[in-house]
Amino acid sequence: MPRVEGLLEELSNAYAPTGFEGAVRTIMRRELSPLADDIETDGIGSLIARLRGTADSPRVMMAAHMDEVGLMVRRITAEGFLKFQTLGGWLDSALINQRWVVLTREGHVQAVTGIKTPHVMSQEERSAGFKREKMFLDVGATSKEDAEERLGIRPGDPVAPDSRFTRLNGGDFYLGKAWDDRVGLALMVEVVRRMRSQPPANTVFAVPTVQEEVGLRGAGTSSFQVQPDVGINLE
């Protein structure tokens, strides 16, 4: 279990919003390359690792997605706040009081969700709830120019939740982000590891996919490439 726990920690801590899966792809390539007979990347970024058995068929494809729900910077206000759009399915209420990391070209920038303070809201506004359109990300910038020039933030930058892996109060439960679907990826690695010592009679493909949270895109393109007879989704 220490090996599996270490992999789960690394996968959970990695930032990989939908469409920006590079950090997790690097981990999965490192883990699968020594175990697979060959490994490649398809046109939109999914990995395809092949374990050759004694027969080409049936072709079995195991899939698990690398991406996680996140945000994307839409624009920067004159005051230096970030307006955003969601990547994947979020409840508006789940966005409040979250800590985030903006993945800029120059490095990581910490952020926290901001809302209009209830002290200056009307009763009607309070009872209506908090909508994402009214929220913003506060990065500690003093102006739009400060956010752009000092912090290097631009529209289009992806944003990931910032929640670090830990054992929950020293017990057997883990606390962290992106269990959907980093658990599936860790399981995939362990299955391939065991198959390496007992090669299958058929051909098996281990496929970490991209962009699942916005429409199963990587699963679709990789399936066309693999042409499996059997598909197993580790979700």
Q: In this structure, how many other beta carbons lie within 10 angstroms of the beta carbon of residue 27?
A: 20
Please give the angle made by the CA atoms of 222, 220 and 201, to the nearest 5 degrees: 45
Decide if 51 contacts 198 (C-beta within 8 A). Answer: no
User: What is the rounded CA–CA span in Å between residue 192 and residue 206?
Assistant: 7
DSSP for 35-103, please give it. Answer: TSSEEEE-TTS-EEEEE--SSS-SEEEEEEE--B-EEEEEEE-TTS-EEEEEES---HHHHTT-EEEEE
Please give the angle made by the CA atoms of 103, 133 and 44, to the nearest 5 degrees: 40
Catalytic site includes residue 10: no
Largest CA distance in the chain: 70
Catalytic residue among 9, 31, 212, 213: 212
Query: How is residue 128 annotated by DSSP?
Result: H
Please give the angle made by the CA atoms of 125, 126 and 131, to the nearest 5 degrees: 70
Catalytic residues: 212
